[in-house]
Amino acid sequence: MREEKAEPARIVVLISGSGSNMQAIAEACQKQNMDAEIVAVISNRPGVPGLERAQQFDIPNEVLDHTSFATREEFDINLIRAIDEHSPDLVVLAGFMRILTSEFVRRYKGRLLNIHPSLLPKYKGLHTHKRALEAGDKEHGVTVHFVSEDLDGGPNIIQAVVPVLDDDSETTLQSRVQIQEHIIYPIAVKWFTEGRLTMLKGDAYFDNQALPESGLQLNH
């Protein structure tokens, strides 16, 4: 949990691509919907659109190219160094497509959030929209969760449920899910920065109440 502080909460956002979730959080900070500031955006890939978006918001941004490091461990040690330069209260994974080492996850335990495009624990990993369509699911969605050492694991905070339509393609489903991503991620970040969200012994708490396995659910 974040302690009450006079200064705005310091957020470091990690991206690998488009950065639209980072932008949604930056807009919420800009509109003063929350007392927080993105102090840095770090991408593991050079030249991605998310870096340009960060520039448009005057957010300091940098690249730490994972291909420059021999091992995952070496990359993560350098990533920790780069993040800690900014003394963050919260680290936000926003389309950061890297498997993280346990050392990394342990370092930011309880202040590391991720967004994943499925109703976790369903469909961890890649191609979530395709898998939901192939399974004939009537509902799909997106989850914001605290990060644990398991891939796309850790207690859920909030989910948005999106109906699957008969004529949905991967693209149409993905774009409807992404609209919800841009709503729920700023909400979760705001709750965290207000000190209302905590992770304790592997469970997520909101206003000191344990959250259900799904997290809080928004239905659309």
Active site residue 220: no
Q: What is the DSSP string of 180-210?
A: HHHHHHHHHHHHHHTT-EEEETTEEEETTEE
- Decide: 145 and 120 in contact? Cβ < 8 Å: yes
- Taking the complex as a whole, the smallest distance from the CB of residue 126 to ligand GAR amounts, in Å, to 7
CA nearest neighbour of 195 among 31, 28, 5, 37: 5
* Closer residue to ligand GAR in complex, CB, 153/195: 153
* Min separation Cβ 142 and ligand GAR, Å: 6
Residue 97 CB, shortest distance to ligand GAR, in Å, is 6
* Residue tagged active-site, from 66, 86, 116, 182: 116
- Cα-based distances in Å from 69 to 14, 60, 75, 95, 139: 17, 23, 6, 20, 40
Query: Could you give the CA distance from residue 6 to residue 82 in angstroms, rounded to a whole number?
Result: 25
Residues that bind ligand GAR (CB under 6 A): 15, 17-21, 50, 94-95, 115-117, 142, 152, 178, 181
3 state DSSP class of 24? helix
Please report where in the chains the tokens 């690249």 appear, as a residue: 63
Residue 88 or 95 with smaller CB distance to ligand GAR: 95
- Residue with the shortest CB distance to ligand GAR: 95
- Bridge pairing between strands 209-210 and 203-206: antiparallel
Give least dist CB 201 to ligand GAR, A: 24
Euclidean distance between CA atoms 182 and 23, whole angstroms: 8
Q: Which is nearer to ligand GAR, 20 or 78 (CB)?
A: 20
Nearer to ligand GAR among residue 81 and residue 175 (C-beta): 175
User: Catalytic residue positions?
Assistant: 116
